[in-house]
Structure 1
Amino acid sequence: MIKKICFILLLYSTSYFSQDLAKGFIYLSDIDSSIQSELRYYSNNNFIGKPIDGYKNDCVILTKQTALALKKIQTELKKQGLSLKIFDAYRPQKAVDHFVKWAKVLNDTLMKKEYYPSLPKSELFKQGYIASKSGHTRGSTVDLTIINIKTGKELDMGSPYDFFGVQSHPFHENISKTQKENRMLLRKVMLAQNFIPYKNEWWHFTLSNEPFRNQYFNFNIE
C-alpha cells in the first residue's frame, strides 16, 4: 500500500513540476544529471540585471541530439575530475525579444560595469551582441564552461560569461597561458562531438547537425 501511494505521489510531482516539451526536446537532467547548471537568465546575475522572460525554472532544456552529445563530453571530462557547467541552452523567443526591448532603452545600464564597461550600450546591436534571432531558440546551442568537480570552481577562462568585449573572443591574446589552455580544453572537447564554436564568445557552441536549423521555439523553460 505504501509503495502504491509513493508511486502516485511521484506521478503527481512529475506532472506538476515539469511540462510537455516540444517534440524533439528533452531535459538535460534526464540524460545526464551530473552536468552542472546555473541558468543566468533565471536570476539577476546577467547583463540586464533581472530574470528574463520565459525563464520559469533553473532547468536545462535541449534537443535530444545535443543532450546526448553533451553526455559524451561529460563522460570524458569526469575522467579528469572535471564537469561541464551550463549557463544557457534552449532560449525561448520571448527572452530574445526581452533582450531587444532592453537594448533600445539606452539609459538602462544597471549592469554596465560588470558586462560591457568599455562599450556604449548603443553599440550592442551594431556589434552583434544583441540580435532579434538567436540560435539558442532552435534548441541546439549551449553556453557553457568547465568546473573542477572537487572544488566546484569554474576554470579561469580569462573573461566572465556574457562579457561584451574582445576579451571574450576565443583566441584573444591578452590573457594568461593557463586561461588560454582552459579555453582550448573546452573548445577541444566540444569540437570532438561536432559542436561549432562562435568566433566572438569562448562559451558558445552549436551542434553541427542540429535538427531544427530553421525553426525558432517560444515555450517557457519550466
Structure 2
Amino acid sequence: MGSFGRRIRAFALATVLGGGPAGLAHAESPPRLSPARTAAEAGLVDIRTLAPDIAEDIKYAGSDNFVGTPVDGYLAPKCLLLRPAAEALARVERDLRAEHRRLRLFDCYRPARAVAHFVRWASDLADQRTKAAHYPQLDKRALLGDYIAPVSGHSRGATVDLTLLQCDAHDRHCTPLDMGTGFDYFGTLANTDSPQATAAQHANRALLRAAMEREGFRNYAMEWWHYTLVSEPSPSVIYDVPVE
C-alpha cells in the first residue's frame, strides 16, 4: 500500500467517522481502501445509464463549491454509485415524476483523494474565498474535525447529496424548492430539522426525505441534502478511483 493508503488508515483509526459537509462515513471501524483503479473495477455505474435525463449539478467537478476550485479526482461532472444505490436512486426519480417533481444531484461517489483535498483546504486558513457562501458564521478553524474529516461515507459509493425540483403541469420547467440553505452550507440551519428553518422549508425537506426513505435511503440529520442507502453494498470499503 502506498503512502496515501497508509494515511487514510491512520486517519480512520484516529477518527470516529460521522457525516459532516465533507460527507464523513457512519462506520465505527477503519475502512479498507479498495485496490480498484477504475469505476468498472469498483462496480460503480453512471446514474444516467439508469435515469438518462436526471438533473445533475456535480459541484466538485467545477469551482462552485466550498473549496472554490475543481476537486481532486473529479475529471468529469458525473454521478457514480454502486449499482444497488444507483438502482434505488433511479426508482426515487421515477416515483417523483408521477408527482411532477424531480431530483437534482450535487454529489454521489467521492474519491478518497477528493476528501484529502478537503482536508488540505480546511488547513489553509489563509484561503477564505468561500466563507460568505459556505461558512459565514463560523471560523474556518472550526471546520476541520467538526465538519470535515479525512474519511468520507461518499467514498463507499452509496451516498448521494441532492435536492428536489418542482415542475409545472407539463414537466417542461422545473425549479428548486426552497430548502433554507444552499448545498454544503456549514452551520446549524442546514440541519434537517433545524428550528431556524421556516415552515415551508421544513415541508420541502420533508418531501425530499419521504421520497428517499421510500426507496431505502436514510438522511444524515446535520445535512438536509445527504442520504445514504441503508443496505450499503460495501460499508467497510472506500474507493479512490477517479470520476471520469
For 2:174 and 2:59, how far apart are their aligned partners in 1? 17
CA 1:23–1:104: 2 relative to 1, 3 Å:
closer
The one-letter code matched in structure 2 to 1:174 is Q
Larger Rg: 1
2:117 corresponds to 1:98: yes
**19-28 or 29-38, which moves further after superposition?**
19-28
Unpaired runs of at least 5, structure 2:
1-37
Q: What's the RMSD between the two structures over aligned residues?
A: 1.2
SS in 2 for 1:209: coil
In structure 1, what is the equivalent of residue 202 of structure 2? 180
Pick aligned residue for 2:232 from 184, 190, 210: 210
In structure 1, what is the equivalent of residue 58 of structure 2? 39
The one-letter code matched in structure 1 to 2:232 is E
CA 1:101–1:68: 2 relative to 1, 3 Å:
same
TM-score by length of 2: 0.81
Deviation at residue 121 of structure 1 after TM alignment: 0.4
For 2:217 and 2:43, how far apart are their aligned partners in 1? 18
For 1:142 and 1:119, how far apart are their aligned partners in 2? 25
Matches within 5 A, 1:29-178: 29-127=48-146, 129-149=147-167, 150-178=172-200
User: Greater RCO between the two (CA within 8 Å, min separation 6)?
Assistant: 2
Deviation at residue 24 of structure 1 after TM alignment: 2.3
SS in 2 for 1:33: coil
TM-score by length of 1: 0.88
SS in 2 for 1:22: helix
SS in 2 for 1:156: coil
Deviation at residue 20 of structure 1 after TM alignment: 5.2
% of aligned pairs identical? 36
Deviation at residue 83 of structure 1 after TM alignment: 0.6
Deviation at residue 107 of structure 1 after TM alignment: 1.2
The one-letter code matched in structure 1 to 2:159 is T
The one-letter code matched in structure 2 to 1:115 is H
For 1:151 and 1:20, how far apart are their aligned partners in 2? 33
Q: Is the 8 A contact 2:39 2:243 kept in 1?
A: no
**196-205 or 142-151, which moves further after superposition?**
142-151
Work out the number of aligned pairs and report it.
203
**43-52 or 151-160, which moves further after superposition?**
151-160
Q: Is the 8 A contact 2:39 2:241 kept in 1?
A: no
Unpaired runs of at least 5, structure 1:
1-18
Deviation at residue 126 of structure 1 after TM alignment: 3.4
